[in-house]
Amino acid sequence: MSGHYDVDAVRKEFPAAERITYLDSGFQTPLARPVKAAIDRFLSEGLEIAGPKSVWLDRVEQTREKLARFLGASADEIAFTKNTSESMNIAANALPLRAGDKVLMIHGDHPNNAYAFLNLRRKGVTVAFVPMTEIVNADSLRPYIDANTRAISMSQVTFHAGHRFDVESIGALCEEKGLYFVVDVMQAIGVVPIDAKAMRATFIGSGSHKGLLVPQGLGLLYWDKSRAELEPAYLAAASLADVPADLIANPDKLDPAPSARRFELGNFNLPAIHALGASLDMIDALGVENIQNHCFDLGDHLIARLDALDVRLVGPRARQHRAPHIYVIALPAAEWLGHFEENGVRVSPERDGIRVSFGMFNTIADVDRLIEIIRRRGVKPSSRAA
C-alpha cells in the first residue's frame, strides 16, 4: 500500500511491473490495461465496421477537453502533435524571431529542445546557453537577459538527473520582461502537477509515452490563445479558420484557425488519442498530486538506502528542487547496466550514471530489490558519496 492510494491495485493494471522490476518510466511507461483496452476498442471498430470516423473524432475532442482541464487551460488552447520534438519545433517557428534576436536556454537540457531553436540560427537568431545548476529560477536567468532577448525555452524537469526548475518564477520573469516562454514538460507531465496559466507559458510541449502512459507517436502543444500573433510555419486545410467545403484550395482565405487547431497538420493519431483519454481517466482517478507524493516517498527511501551504502546520488536531493520520480545513481552505466538487466531490473544509462525513474505502480519493494542488487555486487570508491 501507499499512503496516497492503493498502489497494489494500480500495479495490477501494469502486467510488465509484475514480470520485471521496472524502474524506467522516464524512458517509457509500460502499457496499462485500461490504455490497451482503449486501443483495442479502436482497432475492433476499424476491423468490424470500418471505423465510425465521426465517433472517433468526437472522442478526439473529448480527450482534448480532458487534457485542457489537466493543464489548467481551455480546449481551444490544445493541439495534438506527433511528439515533443515536433511541438518544440512548432513553437520555435511560430515565434516572430528575426535576425539579431536572442533565445536563452539551459546548457545540458534535452537536445531536441535546443535543436528546435538552434535551427533558427539560419535566420540570424542567436541561442545562448545558461549554465545548469542544482537550482534554476528567475535569478539564474535574469543576468543573461539583454535588449536582444526575446524568448526563454527550457524543460520543467530534466531527463538526465531529475532537476526540477522553478518555471513559475521564470514565467513571471518572462511576463515582466515581455519575453516568450516555451516549456517542455515531457518528463513532468502525469507525475508533476502542471498549471499552464500559473506557469505563464506561451507554449508548452510534450509527448505522451512517459507519465501519460500512451505508446509513442502522440504529442501535445498548449498555446496561450492571447498570443494571437503566433501563427504556424506551415498550413493545411485542417489548420484554417475557414475550411473550404468543396476542398478546393482558396488562395484568398488563408487565415489560421482561432484555436490551437492552427498548429495541427492533417489526420490525427486516433488510436493514441483514444489511449490518452483512458490514461487521463486513470491519472485523474488517483490524482496527480498523489502520484507525485507517492514517487517522492519512493525517492526519499531510495536516497536513504543509497546513503546507507555510501553511494552518491547525482543531481538535487531536496524535494523542492528535484523531480519526484527521476534519480541518477553514480554507478558507471558501462559497468552496471548489464548487471541490472541480468537481474531483471529495467533502468536507463545516463550521462552521469544509472537513471532510476518511478511510475505510479512502483513500490518500496522495487527500491529495496534495486538496492540489494547493488549491495551484493559492491561499489568502487569512485561511486561513493563525497
pTM exceeds 0.85, yes or no: yes
Query: Domain span at residue 223?
Result: 35-284
Q: Are residues 57 and 83 in the same domain?
A: yes
Q: How many independent structural domains does the chain possess?
A: 2
Do 193 and 107 belong together in one domain? yes
Q: Is residue 322 part of a domain?
A: yes
Residues 215 and 314 in one domain: no
* Shared domain check, 327 and 267: no
Q: Name the amino acid, one letter, at 289.
A: E
CATH at residue 44: 3.40.640.10
Query: Is pLDDT above 80 for 124?
Result: yes
107 and 83 Cβ atoms separated by less than 8 Å = no
For 93-119, the pLDDT digits (tens) are 999 999 999 999 999 999 999 999 999
Mean local confidence (pLDDT), 19-43 = 98
381 belongs to a structural domain: no
> Helix or strand or coil: residue 363?
coil
Distance CA 104, CA 129 (A): 6
Confidence of residue 386 (pLDDT cuts 50, 70, 90): low
What's the confidence (pLDDT) of residue 265? Answer: 93
- CA distances in angstroms from 241 to 80, 255, 262, listed in the order given: 17, 6, 8
Asked, for residue 170, whether it belongs to a domain, the answer is: yes
Mean pLDDT value across residues 2-30: 96
Q: How far apart are CA 204 and CA 212, in angstroms?
A: 15
- Residue 385 reports pLDDT greater than 80: no
